[in-house]
Amino acid sequence: MKQIFSIAVVATLALSKALAQGHGPLYGLQTPTLAKGGVDFNVAAMSLATENDQSFMLRYIWSYGITEDLQLNITTPTMIDRLSDVPRTRGNSNMPANGDIEASVWYRFFSNAFGVGKRFESTAILSVSAPTEETRGGINVSNSIHGAISTGYASRTWYAWVGGGYQYYFEEGNEQLGDLPYASFVVGYRPNIFMGDYPKPDWRIFVESLAEFPGASSTEGQISAIDQRGKKVMLGPSFLGLYGAWGISFGALFPAYQEIKQGPKEKYRLSVNISYWL
């Protein structure tokens, strides 16, 4: 695993060049959008481990700011190790934690700046995705649609985002993967020591949480024998570091609560993201 992560970091350094999208979390829903005409290319290394297996993939994200409040995104995976029994989950608002190719639009429909560097804002997300495998967890998998809303506060020192979303999978061959309602909450802090301008480094610390409630899959309209319904709450830290045109973010989520009817329980999720801003 250490060798795989070393390869991933080198590949990410070679590939990641971006126009800064915002200084947000890794896993939770967030609100920042690109400036008008802004182009962002990002690469992330992601891993998800269960009691029985472990996945690993690279994620490539292309984003374009149509206006300062409207953003288009396309994300594609390179699967290195795929789980045979994949939990239904979102990696974050812009990086599915499975083999889906996804296109999304973000619309920041509310923004209120007040004080020095302080603002409240809300963003809506709508996306469509296509799987890169035929079955997932023993069930035929088809295209899906996803919608979410996030609201947040940001200042020079404190950050907070709360949001919720819903993913719906269409039927394929008389089988249908269960839906995924979920919610996220993130709190961030920027220590005073990192308030200086470049060339001083700039770090932010986040505590992130995800609550997921996957629904039952069905076969010919009946609940499938492979019933992966349950409840799950993931919690963990993430870190964002900025230095000049470079940025690195990394973090992990661990299960705080799991109630799974069938299938293995999760052990952890890892993500590393390295960027260079033009």
pLDDT of 58 strictly over 50: yes
In the DSSP assignment, the letter for residue 31 is -
Confidence at residue 114, expressed as pLDDT on a 0 to 100 scale: 86
φ and ψ at 198, to 5 degrees?
Answer: -55, 135
In the DSSP assignment, the letter for residue 13 is H
Confidence at residue 197, expressed as pLDDT on a 0 to 100 scale: 64
Question: Shortest CA distance to 119 belongs to which of 104, 132, 108, 134?
Answer: 108
Q: Find the mean pLDDT for residues 249-269.
A: 90
pLDDT digits (tens, 9 = 90+) for 148-158: 999 999 998 99
- pLDDT interval class at 5 (50, 70, 90): very low
- pLDDT interval class at 167 (50, 70, 90): very high
- pLDDT interval class at 27 (50, 70, 90): very high
Q: Find the mean pLDDT for residues 23-41.
A: 86
Burial of 109 (0-12, 13-18, 19+ CB in 10 A): exposed
In the DSSP assignment, the letter for residue 193 is G
pTM equals 0.86
pLDDT of 10 strictly over 70: no
Domains in the chain: boundaries: 2-276
Type of residue at 103: A
* Highest mean predicted confidence (pLDDT) among 36-45, 101-110, 131-140: 101-110
CATH number for the domain whose boundaries are 2-276? 2.40.160.40
Q: Find the mean pLDDT for residues 14-22.
A: 38
Poorest-pLDDT segment among 27-36, 68-77, 92-101 = 92-101
Tokens coding 51: 């009691």
CA 193 to chain centre: 28
- pLDDT interval class at 127 (50, 70, 90): very high
